[in-house]
Structure 1
């Protein structure tokens, strides 16, 4: 029976699980699967099974290559590689069991995305004490979801991930900005971290402008506006009215910055 890696704290201060982990919040990696040989395809198949559990062999063959679908033989070879490399759980069951109603991993197999969801859900539900959970969720990010790879089957889940990341970064930036003792440095880090994942997220630019405005940092305000306007030109985006209004406010400095343009 193959044992998983020993648990150790990650950058978010959360113990790594004993079971294999599929990491998608950045370049795709899977515990026990290397990047040599067929490793990238095996890792991609593992990620597909994780984010689209319960799918048939036919679905997997087509999803892995819509232009030239895999043969059943190729699929079974790659599935065998996953089973060989991941091994079995403490209960004796393979981490990738033989299918009954579609392919799914053993419940112990997890992912950084699942950990992100758990932390973000807990943090968002607790306005008073959940800020650390939100920080830990953002600390799991190694880059954009599936960075460096283009999987057609991952498009929808990738957008879901990015949306959830932006919501988490926004909430964290607002929490650090508000209150009797705001931490504008932490708020700025949260907003900018989110923008590294999605440089078109207007809500984070509004957060950034509010943060610099609250700090009395005129140069920072103008930097945020300039970057947003450049992104809008690059992607041919029309700015939302609330964003345009906030830009007018911060440039004219006509009102207190509290809560401006946060919607």
Structure 2
């Protein structure tokens, strides 16, 4: 049976984001059908980016999907309720919860969903978490099948969720984090997965993100975070290394297996 996935694309580099997700998911399942959406409310008074192959979010279409992904967004420092599409996003959260299809929330998408469903707080980091880091597996998860303790994963964010609040909530489980305690993977009931790593990123993504932020500052790199453990030549910021490729392959293959199990009517123990 062909799996059908919906993706709400909230990222700044929208075309690249869709290419990345299409690639990593297509590698795991070449027959996968992916529908990309954007929040209607965000573009009510602004033009859509040119040549963007996405359509407005339609909650009625969700019933025909087998899984759903909400991407990150470059708004970690903005209060959730001040996001101009927050109401629309919460309607999506509610519909996904009622359908109980496999849900993958990525980076800011994970922050927003965890805040909405469980009231977990968010706080800014002293500096951007930006680079490739080893991960400690704290609890087993089907999504981490095939990955060993210390697997590498990319992170790029300015904020973090309150870890103590997560630990106090019996419905949430932290499966993986950096040695310093930065979140990587958390699960909740109802087939909810909260991924705080940008595992969809390809080998050039960090270079592009750094150059985009540098350009936004007019070329001034004062205080600008540089990708850590990413370049083979750190001093020249040259020769990016794709050290999370195996993690990427395993994770998205595992998530699509979870989608397939849902299709087959199998249930997880929550």
TM-score (norm 2): 0.26
Q: Which has the higher contact order (CA 8 A, sep 6+)?
A: 2
Instruction: Identify the structure with the greater strand proportion.
Output: 2
Instruction: Identify the structure with the greater helix proportion.
Output: 1
